[in-house]
Structure 1
């Protein structure tokens, strides 16, 4: 995977993970995922995976 692809995928994962977390915690009421605890748990996990991808993407960009 190239550095740009990792950066893009990591940023997308962080944003989606944050959205899932906010919806799972019930801050967004007009959502199917609102108030469901599973999304409040999966969101931070996805965001952490996104941060790892961002870190790997930055390392790949700095090498090449």
Structure 2
């Protein structure tokens, strides 16, 4: 697996983690009340889990960009 493939993998997985984590955090905070049957709605622990997941996603995206610069 070459650098372009690793870069792409980090950025795609990182973006997926960021979006998922942000959604979990918003659901946990009671801001995003969708889907109506979700067990995460207004559950503060999911705000924490989502925030951590989104942060990991951002780190992965940044690592992918760094690899792209040859560092």
User: TM-score when scaled to structure 1?
Assistant: 0.89
Is structure 2 residue 20 aligned with structure 1 residue 13?
A: no
Secondary structure at 2:19 match in 1: helix
For the aligned residue pairs, the C-alpha RMSD in angstroms reads 1.7
Structure 1 spans left out of the alignment, 5+ residues: none
- What is the number of equivalent residue pairs in this alignment? 64
Q: Which structure has the highest helix share of the two?
A: 1
- Using the TM superposition, give the Cα deviation of residue 22 of structure 1 relative to its aligned residue in structure 2, in angstroms: 0.7
CA offsets, 1:28-47, max 9 Å, x none? Answer: 15122101111011111111
Which of 1 and 2 has greater Rg? 2
Question: Which residues in structure 2 correspond to 1:1-64 (within 5 Å)?
Answer: 2-27=6-31, 28=33, 30=36, 31-63=38-70
Contact 1:4 1:61 in 2 (8 A): no
Structure 2 spans left out of the alignment, 5+ residues: none
User: TM-score when scaled to structure 2?
Assistant: 0.81
